[in-house]
Amino acid sequence: MKYLYIIRHAKAESSSHEVEDHDRKLINKGIKRANNLNKWLKSKNQNLEALFCSSSLRTLQTMDIISHDLNYSVNKIVDKKLYGASDEMLLNYISFLDDKLNNVGIIGHQPGLQELAFTLVSSYAEGYDKVLNGNFSTSNAILILLNIKRWDQISSRVGILADYFDSKNY
C-alpha cells in the first residue's frame, strides 16, 4: 500500500502584469490556512517521507509552512517539471518515484492535481464521495490510498480517497 497526498498550494497574491505567475507569493490568508494544513498533517498516523514540490514561489512557501515543526523529517524535492503539470505528467512523474518511499505528497497547481485525483480514485471512504465534485481550493489536501506495491504500478482507478482536508472548514 502506498499513500499519496495531493496538496494544492496556499492562497497567493492575484495575477498581475507586475508579477510573473511563477513568482506570486502567499498572502496572509494563505499562510494561515497553510498553518492549519500543517496541524492536520501532524495529526496523521502516517509520516510523510517526501514532499515533491513545483518550483513556483507559492508552492515553495506552502511546502515550508506545512513541513515546519513536524515530529519527523521530510525529504523535500523541488522540481520545475511539476509547475503547471497535467494529470498525465503527474501520473508519469509518480511512476518513477523510489519504491522505498511509501508515504509522499505532491504540492502543485490546478487543474492537474484535481484531475490526477479523478484519474486515481475508484472508491471513497465513507463521507468523501462528493469531494472530487467540488472546488479543490487552495491549501486543500486529498489523501489517496493506492493499492500498489511499487510506484510504477500506479494507474487509473487504483486508489481510495481516504481523507480530505478542507482549509476553509478547519
State the pLDDT at residue 102. 97
At residue 150, what is the residue type?
R
Question: How far, in Å, CA of 127 to CA of 163, rounded?
Answer: 9
pLDDT tens digits for range 71-126:
889 999 999 999 999 999 999 999 999 999 999 999 999 999 999 999 999 988 88
Helix H or strand E encompassing 53: strand 50-53
pLDDT digits (tens, 9 = 90+) for 18-54: 889 999 999 999 999 999 999 999 999 889 999 999 9
Structural domains of the chain ordered from first start? 2-169 (3.40.50.1240)
